[in-house]
Amino acid sequence: MEKYILIQENTFETARKEIKKNKGKKIIFSSSNDELNRKILEKEKITTLLLNQSQKKDKQKQRNSGLNQVLAKLAKENNVIIGINLDEVIESQSMQKAQILSRIRQNIKLCNKQKLKMKFIALKKQNQRDIYDLKSLGLILGMPTWMTKKL
């Protein structure tokens, strides 16, 4: 895996300072706040937006996957890759794992419509997997072949 800088912040000001400090490097930004993710996509230059699924709560009639059409369009305009947190998938238990995988499938459909790139990101060393395993997981979750070639 290439060298990336992971930034996890809860406020826009501190996130902006960290991004400016690491300007010119490949930056992965992660936050559980959807509004902060949108602000960062609109105003800052990042490489990857890492979506965390485990803290999300679904509504009665729809899933809260952390990505919508507006965020997907902003990511496409700014050439931002959407990251899938592989640690959450591997370390979650059965019911929560099913919910996380369904949210990831929803995000894959959105990214396919907008022709966005997606990437599996494992932050912990023991959760890193072979590229062929990641490609097969992507195909099972519904990624088109052009998307799995760029994992």
Asked if residue 62 has pLDDT above 80, the reply is no
Question: How far is Cα 106 from Cα 98, in angstroms, rounded to an integer?
Answer: 12
If you search the block for the tokens 């997907």, which residue do you land on? 72
Q: How high does pLDDT run on average in the chain?
A: 91
Question: What token pair was written down for 139?
Answer: 């195909």
Q: What is the pLDDT of residue 54?
A: 75
Question: How far is Cα 16 from Cα 29, in angstroms, rounded to an integer?
Answer: 11
Q: What is the Cα Rg of the chain in Å?
A: 15
- What region does 66 belong to: left with phi over 0, alpha with psi -120 to 50, or beta? left
Closest CA to 92 of 137, 141, 54, 138: 54
- CATH code reported for the domain at 5-149: 3.20.20.140
The pTM (predicted TM-score) of the whole model is 0.90
Asked if residue 66 has pLDDT above 90, the reply is no
- Of 36 and 54, the structure prediction assigns the larger pLDDT to 36
Q: What is the pLDDT of residue 128?
A: 92
DSSP β-bridge partners for residue 119: 83
pLDDT tens-place string over residues 67-126: 999 999 999 999 999 999 999 999 999 899 999 999 999 999 999 999 999 999 998 999
Average pLDDT over residues 127-147: 94
Q: Where along the chain do its domains lie?
A: 5-149
With beta carbons less than 8 A apart as the criterion, state whether 81 and 117 touch: yes
